[in-house]
Amino acid sequence: MEIAVFSAKPYDRDYLDAANAAHGHRLKYFEVPLDGETVGLAAGHGAVCIFVNDNADAAVLEALGHGGTKLVALRCTGFNNVDLNAARDLGIKVVRVVDYSPNSVAEHAVALLMAINRKIHRAYNRTRDFNFSLDGLMGFDLCGKTVAVIGTGKIGRVFGKIMLGFGCDVIGYDTFPSPQFEAMGARYAMPGEISVSADVISLHCPLTPDTYHIIDADALSRAKRGALLINTSRGGLIDTEAVINALRSGQLGGLAIDVYEQEAGVFFRDLSGTIITDDMLQRLVTFPNVILTGHQAFLTREAVTTICETTLQSVTDFESGKPLANEINAG
* 25, 96, 107, 263: the active-site residue: 263
**In the 8-state DSSP scheme, what is residue 267?**
T
CA distance 203 to 149: 6
Give me the DSSP letters along 181-206: HHHTT-EEPPTTHHHHH-SEEEE---
Active site annotation includes 263? yes
**Radius of gyration for the alpha carbons in the chain, expressed in angstroms and rounded:** 21
Can you say how many angstroms the Cα of residue 81 is from the centroid of all Cα atoms in its chain? Answer: 13
* 45, 75, 96, 295: the active-site residue: 295
How far apart, in Å, are the Cα atoms of 296 and each of 218, 232, 299? 29, 9, 5
Q: Are 166 and 112 a contacting pair, CB within 8 Å?
A: no
* 107, 234, 261, 309: the active-site residue: 234
Helix (H) or strand (E) holding 294: none
Phi-psi region of 269 (alpha: psi -120 to 50; beta: other; left: phi over 0): beta
CA distance 299 to 38: 26
Active site annotation includes 121? no
Beta-ladder partners of 321: none
CA distance 177 to 181: 8
Neighbours of 108 (CB within 10 A): 22
Q: What are the residue numbers of the active site?
A: 234, 263, 295
